[in-house]
């Protein structure tokens, strides 16, 4: 089994990432997810966060869910302990909306989650993880057609990346629009876009650890004054990624 070039079973131990990041998690809450699938998605997020060192001077986490409407869950200033963050993630409800307005969640991410005064730190790398089982579909809840909604999603993702943040786009199942995933994610796509066939596979150790490794590799060299907003910083650290991927240090 291959996940974007990473073979299943290639990870032997679960790493603990000590890289300090501001992590925003964008969660699909549409009705195309079965109840069990949604809980698997939440479990994946909890397990991933559990790999991180959480604290006011370590990694901070924010979350937002989306379907017909945007549902802000919590921001960087709301919880500073791992137990509180995990509890807040566990309490995220499945709203089962019939639309998938991805652009609303991305807009909220760059306008509110990463807004000055809301806990985002200028000397820490911003990372966004977007989870979805489909593609943008405004339904009857917006003036956009489906194709216009996709363009809006692409624009909102670009605004996040323009500020120097990294976006990982994770698509689950056969209904995912791969082109849209690639447009949401940072470049190169093979690093920042992850596709899995179902939510059970999403919840596998291989996928969690692959994402963890990529997030740590991408951010561990971007600290302090070297981590500036904008495409320049993003391009520099993508080039570093290809060099240090085989020698990245993890803590067990």
Residue 4 lies in a domain: no
Residue 5 lies in a domain: no
Residue with tokens 């650890």: 209
Residue 3 lies in a domain: no
Task: Please say whether the beta carbons of 54 and 16 come within 8 A.
Answer: no
The strand pairing partners of 17, in sequence order, are 52
Largest CA distance in the chain: 50
d(CA 215, CA 149): 28
Q: What is the pLDDT of residue 67?
A: 95
Domain CATH for 153: 3.40.50.410
Q: What is the pLDDT of residue 69?
A: 92
Q: What is the pLDDT of residue 134?
A: 84
Q: What is the dihedral of CA 14, 37, 171, 116, to 10 degrees?
A: -80
Q: What is the pLDDT of residue 237?
A: 30
Residue 92 lies in a domain: yes
Q: What is the pLDDT of residue 144?
A: 86
Residue 251 lies in a domain: no
Q: What is the pLDDT of residue 218?
A: 61
Q: Which residues of the chain have pLDDT under 50?
A: 1-15, 222-252
DSSP at 138: -
Which residue segment(s) compose the domain that 91 sits in?
15-244
Closest CA to 61 of 3, 119, 104: 119
Q: What is the pLDDT of residue 16?
A: 74
What domain count does the chain have?
1
Residue 203 lies in a domain: yes
Q: What is the pLDDT of residue 171?
A: 96
Residue 249 lies in a domain: no
Residue 7 lies in a domain: no
pLDDT in tens, 55-68: 999 999 999 999 99
Q: What is the pLDDT of residue 233?
A: 33
Please name the residues in contact with 212: beta carbons below 8 A apart, sequence gap of 6 or more.
15, 17, 48, 51
């Amino acid at each position: 089994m291959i996940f974007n070039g990473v073979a299943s079973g290639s990870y032997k131990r679960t790493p603990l990432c000590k890289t300090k990041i501001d992590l925003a998690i964008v969660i699909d809450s549409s009705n195309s997810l079965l109840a069990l699938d949604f809980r698997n998605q939440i479990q994946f997020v909890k397990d991933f966060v559990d790999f991180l060192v959480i604290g006011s001077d370590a990694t901070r986490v924010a979350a937002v869910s989306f379907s017909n409407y945007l549902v802000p869950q919590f921001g960087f200033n709301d919880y500073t302990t791992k137990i509180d963050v995990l509890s807040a993630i566990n309490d995220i409800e499945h709203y089962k909306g019939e639309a998938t307005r991805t652009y609303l969640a991305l807009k909220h991410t760059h306008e509110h989650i990463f807004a000055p005064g809301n806990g985002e730190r200028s000397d820490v790398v911003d990372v966004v993880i977007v989870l979805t089982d489909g593609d943008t579909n405004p339904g009857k809840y917006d003036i956009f057609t489906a194709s216009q909604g996709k363009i809006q999603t692409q624009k909102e993702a670009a605004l996040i990346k323009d500020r120097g943040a990294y976006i990982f786009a994770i698509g689950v199942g056969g209904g995912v629009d791969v082109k849209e995933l690639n447009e949401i994610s940072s470049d190169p796509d093979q690093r920042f876009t992850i596709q899995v066939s179902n939510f059970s596979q999403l919840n596998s150790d291989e996928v969690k650890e692959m994402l963890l490794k990529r997030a740590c590799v991408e951010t561990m060299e971007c600290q302090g004054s070297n981590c500036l907003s904008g495409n320049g910083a993003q391009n520099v650290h993508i080039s570093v990624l290809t060099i240090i991927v085989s020698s990245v240090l993890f803590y067990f």
